[in-house]
Amino acid sequence: MNGAAVAGVSPRSPGVDRRTAVRLVLLIGVVSLLSDMTYEGARSIHGSYLAALGATGLAVGVVAGAGEPIGYALNLLAVPALAPKLARACAAARGHRHGAQWNRSCARRSPR
């Protein structure tokens, strides 16, 4: 029995053609581009906005500069907490028809 039969997914789903798939990928790319532009644009004016609200230079520096270390600290806390879930997701993906790709990705990320 092949992986597609086990997962219940046919190699070519009816009703989905290559053109539709390309459109979907391009649409997701445009959405990602617009969200990155919004995020980076907003991030670049945090300090100016705080200054316009009347914050002192010290307050602007502390608030604008404290975000990065806090983000890194949260990342350090979240990764070990999520590692077991990633390992379970990788194990569940092994029977999927794209399992080989997932297994290569999981091999690099799974805790030993």
Token reading at 70? 């806090």
Phi and psi angles of residue 44, each rounded to the nearest 5 degrees, phi first: -75, -20
| Average pLDDT of the segment spanning 11-16 | 62
Phi and psi angles of residue 90, each rounded to the nearest 5 degrees, phi first: -65, -40
82-95 pLDDT tens trace: 878 777 776 666 65
Residue 108 scores a pLDDT above 70: no
Residue 79 scores a pLDDT above 60: yes
Distance CA 86, CA 80 (A): 10
pTM tops 0.85: no
